[in-house]
Amino acid sequence: MSKIALIAFMMSSLAFSKSYIVRLKKSVGVQTTSLKSFLKSNKVKNMPLSFGNFYVIDVKDSAQLKRLKSLKKSDHFISMEENVKVSIYPTFDARDGRGGGTRKPKPKKPVFTGPLFSEQWALVNDGDNAKSRKVEKGVPGTDLNALKAWKMIKGDEKIVVAVVDTGIDQNHKDLISNMWVNEAEKNGKDGVDDDGNGLIDDIHGYDFINNDSDPFDDHSHGSHCAGVIGALHNDDGIKGLMDKVQLMGVKTFSKWGSGSMAGILKSIDYAINNGAHIISNSWGGSSAASPAFKAAVAKAEKKGIIFVKAAGNSNEDNDKVNNDSNLPHSNVIIVGAHNGAGDKAYFSSYGKKNVHVFAPGTAIISTVPGDKFEKMSGTSMATPYVAALAGLIKASEPNLTPEEVRERMIQTSIKTKSLKSYSQSAGRVDAFRALKNTTR
């Protein structure tokens, strides 16, 4: 083969080197082996999910793609979509209040130690919380009103919040006491699927990147989100909005912050099937919500699980763009980010129709692996605050439906001129007002 022909062949192969997610009706006649034979490909994997019969199929040439598309004519066919790449929303360097996204974990300085509650402006804003970073000057009282909320309730160890992210450092001193524990696996035999969920030794969650039972965070984003939700209330480190909670680690993204829709589907299914009450999602893709993703969210909706998702960091109007956060389900809460002055964070996406609430999301200090703490900014940080607020509300009033929890947050938000046009709430969430169910 000539050099030119070889290059052409390589380019052709790359053009068709794609992965697809196909959903078929459950039938004895639809099996992995028969699909492999029909497609003339060994790259067919069954993805057993509780909300449908899905297959991940890798396509390497035009002939395979043509055969794959011909499945649409089958009586078994339901949907087909590309297995798109997704990532955690860019983590913004908070040192200058702006910065850029990074996908590769890099050590940051300074690393914070000691009692850090005074740095948590999102919980108690005195107007100058972020002393060590040059960020927008805060306005006293522009916070979640956490102290008053905590006089009512600090959480409940029965509430399980699944963090679909880069994993969690389950040994972090501020997180270890609040980690979800799969008792059947913890008290069972090593190397045995004691709870019968198809996974072995998943004590604190599962790693769908490396396909093992240790959802350890090798990035930092997931642990940061977990700390925002449920860092232990003590005299050292930080405080989560919830003091009592179970944090389920679901590792969906690699140490580079990348993942796939197939991984998302498996992660959501895991959270649903293992008792999560709330699923926190600080991630996104570049396309509209797919049929498979909507099916996963619909299953969570059917189970009464609250699904909290970041609006995005592209400063776009989600009412006008295709965004995988634009979901019609009653259990979904989409979150934008505001700064310490109560203004929309410059990066935050928004939408009078498709974004429900705004929460603190700039210069947020929280837990990262190795008993350390760092500041990050993004709708990624605002999302776990809303997930935690949902947890407080559910702990206080367990019979509320996800839609009622969402409506409570929207109606009790503090209405502000600067946020009026950016979400359904026309303002920012307030934990005390949400728990008290008051607009004052």
Active site residues: 165, 221, 380
Q: Is 255 left (phi over 0), alpha (psi -120 to 50) or beta?
A: alpha
The 8-class DSSP code of residue 133 comes to: S
Interior angle at CA 163, CA 161 and CA 167, nearest 5: 140
**Whose CA is closest to 340, among 100, 99, 96, 128?**
128
Specify the 3-state DSSP secondary structure of 219. Answer: coil
State the Cα–Cα distance between residues 386 and 160, nearest whole angstrom: 14
**Whose CA is closest to 160, among 309, 55, 52, 275?**
275
Cβ atoms within 10 Å of 100's Cβ, excluding its own? 9
Lateral strand order in the sheet of 372-377: 92-93, 372-377, 364-368
C-alpha atoms less than 13 angstroms from C-alpha of 244 in its C-beta half-sphere: 13
